[in-house]
Amino acid sequence: MSDNGILRIIARFLIPLILLVGLYIQFHGEYSPGGGFQAGVVFAVGWILYVLIWGLERGLKVISLKAMYVLSAAGVLLYAGTGLLGVLLGGKYLEFYPLLESPHAAQQAGIIVVEFGVGLTVATVAMLIFTLFARRRSEWIAALEQDDPEQRP
Amino acid sequence: MRVRDLFAAGMLFAIYSLVSAGLFTVLDAGDVALTEAAVGAGLSTILVLAVLTLARRYEHPVGSHNWLALSVVLVTGALLVYATLDLPEFGAADNPAQVHVGPFYIENSYRDMGVPNMVAAVLASYRSIDTMGEAFVIFAAALAVFALLSVRPRRDMPGVRRRHPPRSAASKGEEDEA
């Protein structure tokens, strides 16, 4: 749809804004409504808008399918690892107080890190599911054309 | 109301989610409203559209009415309406939701963590293991979709040769969406 000027200009204006709002919801989540889950979805939607306008091929150049797999696992591992770090430093699992000296700073650091893990997982999982569905149709057509070129859909 | 057009049904779901998000905003539940608007109205609509590129646009018409299903729905609905009579008054101060752990969080969360948004404090710290479970559920959803769709379609797979990917649903859906 990149041949439509209105869509292209509006998307060019909106996509950075959406990504910025996603980051704001992520890192301002302790002070205002928001958190990793919402932020991840908003961030992923920015990328999906890019794909809707400029196509999946260019979208996958921004972030490859492999990067999505790795980052979605890295997000949950970051969450679980923060919990284990608390155990190693002498607390309970997912207890944040041992992380830093000051109790408030420790709690806030723990919350920011685990929320970032959630955001990372949610964003990449949303992109991943969208990509898998969006490329299915072209794979289907390719499978039909491969053996029997005259039976094009 | 009956909608056989799956694209219209998807749009109606998006509108429903957006109205729900407005309702949550009116009830001062900012976090829930944000989630509903981002996930219900935004992401799931896009995913429905992505799936519609693989399916036909119109639901296959069914000849007769399914009276058994209708009676099950009616009886269940009547029971649920009857059950609402036992619910405590909406917003009353002595509701179980207001007297259980709620006061503890209100009194202690800022002193414990210095985080103004109580929802974030409860989700990420008091109930951290719950939230970790949620993150793993989302990751498992991605694994399930990957397991189903990572196999490339071949001509000899059932359903691939018999049916071409339908044209109208996909192209129309995407044009209208943009």
Looking at residue B164, its pLDDT comes to 61
Looking at residue B136, its pLDDT comes to 94
Residue A97's domain comprises 5-151
Looking at residue B21, its pLDDT comes to 95
CB–CB of A83 and B150 under 8 A?
no
Share of chain A above pLDDT 90, in %: 61
- Quote the minimal CA–CA distance from B116 to chain A in Å: 5
For residue B28, is it left (φ>0), alpha (ψ between -120 and 50) or beta? left
CB–CB of B135 and A75 under 8 A?
yes
**Helix (H/G/I), strand (E/B), else coil: B5:** strand
* Nearest of A63, A46, A71 to residue A122 by alpha carbon: A71
DSSP bridge partners of B58: B5
Q: Where are the domains of chain B?
A: 1-63+128-162, 93-126
Closest residue of A to B31, CA-based?
A33
The residues in A 78-97 lying below 8 A from B, measured between CB atoms, are: 79-80, 83, 93-94, 96
Looking at residue B114, its pLDDT comes to 83
Does the CB of A6 have a partner CB in chain B at under 8 Å?
Answer: no
| Confidence class for position B173, pLDDT limits 50, 70, 90 | very low
Q: Using CA atoms, how far apart are residues B1 and B12, in angstroms rounded to an integer?
A: 11
Q: Positive or negative, the Cα torsion across B66, B69, B75, B79?
A: negative
CB–CB of A130 and B50 under 8 A?
yes
What's the total number of domains in chain A? 1
Give yes or no for residue B36 having a pLDDT over 50.
yes
CB–CB of A122 and B138 under 8 A?
yes
Looking at residue B2, its pLDDT comes to 72
Does the CB of B33 have a partner CB in chain A at under 8 Å?
Answer: yes
Inter-residue contact B11 to B46 (CB < 8 Å):
no
Lowest mean pLDDT among A55-64, A101-110, B76-85, B136-145: A101-110
CB–CB of A144 and B121 under 8 A?
no
Looking at residue B178, its pLDDT comes to 38
Where is pLDDT greater, at B137 or B95? B137
CB–CB of B132 and A137 under 8 A?
no
> In this structure, what token pair is assigned to residue B10?
């998807």
Lowest mean pLDDT among A59-68, B61-70, B74-83: B61-70
- Three-state SS letters, chain A: CCCCHHHHHHHHHHHHHHHHHHHHHHHCCCCCCCCHHHHHHHHHHHHHHHHHHHCHHHHHHHCCHHHHHHHHHHHHHHHHHHHHHHHHCCCCCCCCHHHCCCHHHHHHHHHHHHHHHHHHHHHHHHHHHHHHHHCHHHHHHHHHHHHCCCCCC
The burial of A98, by beta-carbon neighbours within 10 Å (0-12 exposed, 13-18 middle, 19 or more buried), is given as: middle
> In this structure, what token pair is assigned to residue B88?
């405590």
Q: Using CA atoms, how far apart are residues A107 and A96, in angstroms rounded to an integer?
A: 5
Q: What is the pLDDT of residues B44-73, one digit of tens each?
A: 999 998 888 888 888 887 777 889 999 999
- Quote the minimal CA–CA distance from B38 to chain A in Å: 6
Give yes or no for residue A153 having a pLDDT over 60.
no
Looking at residue A147, its pLDDT comes to 61
> In this structure, what token pair is assigned to residue B60?
């296959």
Give me the mean pLDDT over the B162-178 stretch: 50
- Global pTM reads 0.84
Does the CB of A48 have a partner CB in chain B at under 8 Å?
Answer: yes
The burial of B142, by beta-carbon neighbours within 10 Å (0-12 exposed, 13-18 middle, 19 or more buried), is given as: buried
Compare CB distances from B113 to A33, A104, A114 and report the shortest one's residue: A104
**Helix (H/G/I), strand (E/B), else coil: B58:** strand
Looking at residue B172, its pLDDT comes to 45
Compare CB distances from B124 to A41, A115, A122 and report the shortest one's residue: A115
Query: Which are the contacts of B46, defined by CB distance < 8 A and separation ≥ 6?
Result: A45, A48, A130, B177
> In this structure, what token pair is assigned to residue A6?
């209105």
| Confidence class for position A117, pLDDT limits 50, 70, 90 | very high
Distances (CA, A) of B13 to A4, A48, B40, B44, B172: 27, 19, 8, 9, 18
Share of chain B above pLDDT 70, in %: 88
Give me the mean pLDDT over the A111-127 stretch: 94
Q: Using CA atoms, how far apart are residues A33 and B33, in angstroms rounded to an integer?
A: 9
| Confidence class for position B168, pLDDT limits 50, 70, 90 | very low
Q: Using CA atoms, how far apart are residues B116 and B125, in angstroms rounded to an integer?
A: 13
Q: Using CA atoms, how far apart are residues B128 and B113, in angstroms rounded to an integer?
A: 14
Lowest mean pLDDT among A28-37, A63-72, A140-149: A140-149
